[in-house]
């Protein structure tokens, strides 16, 4: 059956499967981390952990990836959960931009890919930190608008999980009987509900683990569809975009950098593997464009953009990508 299909369609299918197979484990890991943060990370713990100074908070976000590594395929759900839990956006996005690059696995793979030399690994890490500092400080001091697609709503009433005990206190501006609550009423009533959920002594931790897994599963299927669409678009562009033509455009340093940025966007590789592709293009393009490829790819690719679109405001994403593009290009020009 497949033999009757054109070679281009078969090639596109192979690229699509390779992207999905490569990315799915990291997306699943990211969703599991997101579920764990959802259950165990509280705003109080965030406030105790992060410094008050905004710049210092950005720096903390930049170095968190060393101790909390994540591939860019699964970083977006984690960042979304950070923001929902009260982590400042400048810290969360500094982490998002650096974690896929400064983590030890990616540093070592870059070292191996470029012939056991630390030069390109160091240039890559330095570039990621510079971009994260610029973006983080922009978010801290200049961007005043909400970045979330829809502002998180604080539910007035939290329905307890099955098997949990809850004490619900209702305070109203007028006396409310139990029966009228079930009937339609035109009276203006303000109800403030405070739910304090007390887990049963036995099985409390098991309930939390169940909640983690349930949230992770929902997040995985919700985010996974954007991964599939992104992988399909990326595979189509890799198949039908004239890559050979792009490779002949590297006549000047700036043009070569822009070409490599386009390739990083189109190829949508995981940060654990892109260094080997970058090293194969080194003789054709030179150091600066390849460094731009290594820094830009883990920050901006098709599948990542679609997953970001799921959570964050479209105008904010455009500004973010534009700022990353400018900073990466400027950094590559001076390398």
d(CA 233, CA 304): 12
> By the 8 A CB rule, do 299 and 327 touch?
no
pLDDT at residue 90 greater than cutoff 90: yes
**What pLDDT shows up at residue 243?**
64
**What pLDDT shows up at residue 321?**
95
What letter does residue 103 receive in the DSSP assignment? S
Beta-bridge mates of residue 195: 168
Cα angle value 168/172/178 (rounded, 5°): 65
Sequence spans of domains, the chain: 2-150+209-334, 165-203
Helix (H) or strand (E) holding 18: helix 7-40
**What pLDDT shows up at residue 250?**
64
Helix (H) or strand (E) holding 23: helix 7-40
d(CA 162, CA 27): 29
Half-sphere exposure of 240 (CA within 13 A, CB side): 11
Q: Which single residue is written with the structure tokens 């709503």?
A: 153
Mean confidence (pLDDT) of the chain: 76
Give the three-class secondary structure for 169: strand
pTM: 0.69
> By the 8 A CB rule, do 62 and 102 touch?
yes
> By the 8 A CB rule, do 194 and 157 touch?
no
* Each residue's pLDDT tens digit, 230-273: 678 767 866 876 666 666 666 688 988 998 898 888 877 777 77
The residues, any chain, with a CB within 8 Å of residue 180's CB and separated by 6 or more, are none
Q: In terms of DSSP H, where are the helices of 41-159? A: 43-49, 54-67, 75-84, 89-102, 104-113, 119-141
> By the 8 A CB rule, do 275 and 114 touch?
yes
What letter does residue 1 receive in the DSSP assignment? -
What letter does residue 312 receive in the DSSP assignment? B
Look at 242 and 275; give whichever has higher pLDDT.
275
* Each residue's pLDDT tens digit, 19-55: 778 767 777 776 787 677 677 766 677 677 888 899 9
Half-sphere exposure of 133 (CA within 13 A, CB side): 11
Closest Cα to residue 301, out of 264, 260, 259?
A: 264
pLDDT at residue 71 greater than cutoff 90: no
Q: Supply 236's token pair.
A: 């189509």
pLDDT at residue 136 greater than cutoff 90: yes
* Each residue's pLDDT tens digit, 156-204: 333 344 443 333 333 333 343 444 443 444 344 333 333 333 333 345 7
How far from 170 is each of 155, 158, 184, 199, 270, CA to CA, in Å?
14, 12, 19, 21, 50
Query: What is the dihedral angle through the alpha carbons of 20, 236, 327, 274, rounded to the nearest 10 degrees?
Result: 50
**What pLDDT shows up at residue 318?**
94
The residues, any chain, with a CB within 8 Å of residue 263's CB and separated by 6 or more, are 243, 246, 281, 293
Distance between start and end Cα atoms, the chain: 51
d(CA 268, CA 311): 20
31-35, 113-117, 119-123, 210-214: lowest mean pLDDT where?
31-35
Give the number of other Cβ atoms within 10 Å of residue 72's Cβ. 29
């Amino acid at each position: 059956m497949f033999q009757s299909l054109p070679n281009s369609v078969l090639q596109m299918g192979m690229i699509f499967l390779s992207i999905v197979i490569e990315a799915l484990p990291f997306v699943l890991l990211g969703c599991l981390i997101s579920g764990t943060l959802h259950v165990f990370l509280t705003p109080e713990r965030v406030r105790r952990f992060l410094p008050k100074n905004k710049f210092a908070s950005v720096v903390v976000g930049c170095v968190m990836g060393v101790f909390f590594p994540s591939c860019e395929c699964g970083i977006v759900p984690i960042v979304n959960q950070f923001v929902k839990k009260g982590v400042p956006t400048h810290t969360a996005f500094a982490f998002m931009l650096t974690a896929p690059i400064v983590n030890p696995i990616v540093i070592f793979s870059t070292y191996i890919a470029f012939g056991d030399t630390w030069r390109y690994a160091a240039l890559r890490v330095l570039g990621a930190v510079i971009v994260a500092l610029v973006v983080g400080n922009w978010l801290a001091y200049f961007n005043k608008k909400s970045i979330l697609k829809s502002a998180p709503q604080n539910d007035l009433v939290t329905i307890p999980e099955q098997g949990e005990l809850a004490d619900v206190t209702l305070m109203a501006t007028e006396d409310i009987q139990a029966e009228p609550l079930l009937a339609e009423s035109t009276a203006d009533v303000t109800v403030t509900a405070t739910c304090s959920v007390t887990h049963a002594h036995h099985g409390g931790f098991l309930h939390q683990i169940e909640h983690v897994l349930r949230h992770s599963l929902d997040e995985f299927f919700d985010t996974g569809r954007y991964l599939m669409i992104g992988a399909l678009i990326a595979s189509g562009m890799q198949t039908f975009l004239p890559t050979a033509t792009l490779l002949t455009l590297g006549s000047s340093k700036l043009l070569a950098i822009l070409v490599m940025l386009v390739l990083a966007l189109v190829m949508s590789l995981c940060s654990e593997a892109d260094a080997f592709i970058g090293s194969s293009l080194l003789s054709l393009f030179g150091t600066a464009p390849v460094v731009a490829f290594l820094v830009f790819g883990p920050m901006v690719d098709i599948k990542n953009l679609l997953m970001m679109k799921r959570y964050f405001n479209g105008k904010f994403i455009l500004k973010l990508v534009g700022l990353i593009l400018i900073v990466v290009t400027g950094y590559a020009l001076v390398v």
